[in-house]
Amino acid sequence: MKAPQLIFPISFAAGFTCIMFEFEWPWAFLLLPLPLLIWWLTPPFRIQQISVQVPFFESLAEATGQTPQHGAVVQKKHPLQILVAILIWILLMVSLARPLRVGDAIMHNISTRDLILAIDISGSMNEPDFRASDSTTMTRLDGAKKVIDGFISRRQGDRVALILFGSKAYIQVPFTQDLKVARLLLDQAAVGMAGQQTVIGDTIGLATKTFEASQAQQRLVILLTDGNDTASRVPPLHAADIAQQRSIVVYTIGVGDPKTTGEDRVDLGVLQQVADTTGGRFFRAEDGAQLETIYADIDRLAPVKLNSESWRPKIPLYQWPLGAAVLLGLGLWSMLFARSLRLSRRVVRHG
């Protein structure tokens, strides 16, 4: 069971700061009256003896052949000795109580959401028909990366992962809160790195597997593609059903031309069904402006949730009162030793 702690705030008006101290073992202060109790319960030893006083002591000593010696003298304690002894005891008890300096509270936000961005990099994403929000034309992948880069930069607090897929799906960035690294590796993605075909089902399956170690309350996949599933071992709807059973929400974005024939035709129906199965949303994007609007809508539909934790760094300070007690003790011993030397010399001088 953790011992109770005492906290003493000290405010410095000049800096408008508040320095906090606490004692880890405050029960040590119960020992402060211990020396007083010992002094009160154990009085000094006293003995009474019968003695004979004679006026001819020196003659008697000479007749017996004895040399008289100075008797024992109990010297009175100097008031400074008592004061220093009290201060040393107090400092020792303060050190025993383990004083700690408590720093300013440090807030740490823990995201309750893990987010996977699944980006299609198949051959069709190299088509230069994507119109950006500034009316310039670029390839579909470059246009998507431009919008997604801004989306990632707003993910403060989220853990973000990046999956790239073509004929195969692979993890480009595992879950991280280092958004700069995620944006850098997204920028390095190129068409054809994963093959020319499209595996939507396998991508959802890989995302589901990636979430296995996730403890986040909200698990979200944003899948962007311009084609239809042509090479998956797991059908997209079956993969979506498994994701739904594991409480994974999939948002799908179609950026291709549904009127195109063959493998390059985007299957909007499948993307719609995948989103509906997992409780997500389907979006259709024809240009950069629409794509930016879609990611802004996703921000509103799935706002980030944060759990905040705070802690205060603690710096031990017991060495300071302990060191002060040692220095006071050494100073007192030096003073008494010097005093004893002076008395010895005085006795020898007058002996």
Q: How many domains does the chain have?
A: 2
**Among residues 302, 319, 126, which one has the least CA distance to residue 226?**
126
On whether both 219 and 135 belong to a single domain, the answer is yes
* pLDDT computed for residue 13 by the predictor: 41
* pLDDT computed for residue 110 by the predictor: 62
DSSP state of 287: B
**Averaged pLDDT, 315-341:** 87
In this predicted structure, the answer to whether residue 145 has a pLDDT above a threshold of 80 is yes
**pLDDT tens column, 51-101:** 667 777 777 777 777 776 665 555 666 778 888 888 999 999 999 999 888
* pLDDT computed for residue 345 by the predictor: 74
SS (H, E, C) 200-253: HHHHHHHHHHHHHHCCCCEEEEEEEECCCCCCCCCCHHHHHHHHHHCCEEEEEE
On whether both 136 and 100 belong to a single domain, the answer is no
CB 87 within 8 A of CB 132: no
Rounded CA-CA distance 39/43 in Å is 6
Higher local confidence (pLDDT), 288 or 93: 93
Q: Give residue 36's domain range.
A: 6-41+75-104+313-350
Rounded CA-CA distance 289/307 in Å is 33
User: Distances in Å between the alpha carbon of 133 and those of 71, 146, 150, 289?
Assistant: 107, 10, 13, 5
CATH value at residue 154: 3.40.50.410
* Angle formed at CA 265 by CA 264 and CA 270, multiple of 5 degrees: 125
pLDDT band at 12 (very low <50, low <70, confident <90, very high): very low
On whether both 131 and 259 belong to a single domain, the answer is yes
On whether both 18 and 92 belong to a single domain, the answer is yes
Please give the share of the chain, as a percent, with pLDDT higher than 70.
Answer: 79
* pLDDT computed for residue 8 by the predictor: 47
* pLDDT computed for residue 170 by the predictor: 94
Rounded CA-CA distance 16/174 in Å is 43
CB 142 within 8 A of CB 172: no
In this predicted structure, the answer to whether residue 128 has a pLDDT above a threshold of 80 is yes
**Averaged pLDDT, 238-266:** 81
* pLDDT computed for residue 147 by the predictor: 86
Residue 64 lies in a domain: no
On whether both 206 and 158 belong to a single domain, the answer is yes
On whether both 139 and 271 belong to a single domain, the answer is yes
Residue 65 lies in a domain: no
**Among residues 282, 203, 272, which one has the least CA distance to residue 243?**
203
Q: Which residues lie below 8 Å from residue 121, measured CB to CB, with a gap of 6+?
A: 141, 164, 165, 166, 189, 190, 191, 192, 193, 194
Residue 161 lies in a domain: yes
On whether both 144 and 278 belong to a single domain, the answer is yes
**Averaged pLDDT, 124-132:** 82
Residue 334 lies in a domain: yes
In this predicted structure, the answer to whether residue 122 has a pLDDT above a threshold of 50 is yes
Structure tokens at 329: 């003790």
* pLDDT computed for residue 289 by the predictor: 80
* Pick from 119-133, 227-241, 271-285: least confident: 119-133
Residues 38, 42, 43, 48, Cα dihedral to 10°? -160
* pLDDT computed for residue 39 by the predictor: 81
In this predicted structure, the answer to whether residue 165 has a pLDDT above a threshold of 90 is yes
Rounded CA-CA distance 96/89 in Å is 10
Please give the share of the chain, as a percent, with pLDDT higher than 90.
Answer: 28
On whether both 118 and 223 belong to a single domain, the answer is yes
**pLDDT tens column, 32-44:** 998 888 888 887 6
Averaged pLDDT of the chain: 81
* pLDDT computed for residue 312 by the predictor: 74
On whether both 248 and 337 belong to a single domain, the answer is no
On whether both 245 and 298 belong to a single domain, the answer is yes
The winner for highest mean pLDDT among 108-122, 171-185, 304-318 is 171-185
On whether both 98 and 203 belong to a single domain, the answer is no
**pLDDT tens column, 190-214:** 988 888 888 999 999 999 999 998 8
